[in-house]
Amino acid sequence: MAAINTERLKELTKKKLRGTISKEESEQLDAWYNQPVPKVIEWNSGDRNERELKFRLYRQLLRTIGLPDNTVAAQPGYKLWPRLVGVAATVAAIVFCIWFFKPDQSLEERGRQIAARNDIPPLPNTATLTLPDGDIIALSNTKKGVIIGSSGLKYTDSSKVANHPGLATELLNNKAIVLTANTQHGSTYYLTLPDGSKIWLNAASTLKFPSTFDKLNTRTVELRGEAYFEVAKNAAKPFLLQSGNQLLRVLGTHFNVNTYDYGTEVKTTLLEGSVQVNLLQEPDLKKTLKPGEQANSSKGILHVVKADTAAVMAWRRGDFVFVDDDLETILQRLRNWYHVEFEYVGKKPSLKMTGVMSRAVKLSKVLAQIEASGKVKFKIEGRKVYVMN
């Protein structure tokens, strides 16, 4: 094929993302993609969000070569898996690059080797409600969510929850008691609070909330883990969320909060409306977010950045999304979902990855794609996974 200069590649790539590329231009760009030699495009991102651009282009490239956009890409310079002539992306400073390499070993074979002794599938969907006296109500793992109201507990399909007799009386009498919703590893669950606010809990998360807000001045809840909120509007009764070292104040908005214990930051991402972020130890330090922004709070410091909303909300779609994430961050997510422990053997490998993969697959398949980087190997024994160079 005829050579394409760098400026022409930039122009064609931007057209591909905007959906304005012609058939002839698309064929020209696809032909360049499919050349079996390493290639790279570089440009200064300016005021664009490099992480979002990389993520969007990565998924677009997968669709271009006929692959589902649920495949993980490794750090550039390492070999990938069959059918993927090569799609990998990395961001360094303000330079954006796309690299392409041919595979040397099938992904399926890697998965079989990792799972030689056993494999770990996603866990059954398990959630509970804990009452003030310590009694636990197990929520059905065949249901997607539960609604808490004065008439009792119901699933989203309107079927009744076989709940505690005492709780039924408390709800009927509109008495505010503290309930605690818990999701286990590998589980997500949906809740509708008494005020109509909707909350989706991610895996290994806990939400504390009152059974009614009627006699309270505020709607105050507490989160540990991760959740997405769609708060019902009520200007007379603000919604307050305590999560880690921060307090959020909202009237009606859509946002995601990540406060997993393994993270060094509490991350609040706003999708719609407005939310004010306050640090508990620094009450005068506060930030008001706009849609598309993310507040990161850690060690008494609060700063706001532009959010990669596609990556933040991937868990709601049932995906893992890695955006220039290091190995430790990736393994922490897998630990939380599959309920496994990782143990390093020898020197801790150094690599970063970008990509998308379903959370519905067995652990060996995820590990096989990480192994394709050529920088790390895994061995599963029971619920422990050994990480080796």
Q: Per residue in 84-99, pLDDT tens?
A: 323 333 222 222 233 3
Strand order of the β-sheet with 301-306 is 152-155, 145-149, 189-192, 198-201, 226-230, 254-258, 266-272, 293-298, 301-306
Residue 217 burial (CB count, 10 A) = 9
Residues in the chain predicted with pLDDT less than 70, given as ranges, are 1-4, 6, 16-19, 32-117, 164, 166, 172, 261-264
**In this predicted structure, what is the pLDDT of residue 93?**
21
Type of residue at 316: R
Look up residue 329 and give its two tokens: 């961050």
Residue where the block lists tokens 């992306």: 89
Structure tokens of 19? 């959906």
Domain 217-293: CATH class, spelled out? mainly beta
CA angle 43, 47, 53 (to 5 degrees): 60
Least Cα distance to 87 among 2, 26, 30, 43 occurs for 30
Residues of the chain within CATH 2.60.120.1440 domain(s) are 217-293
Residues 10/25, Cβ–Cβ less than 8 Å: no
Helix (H) or strand (E) segment spanning residue 108: helix 107-114
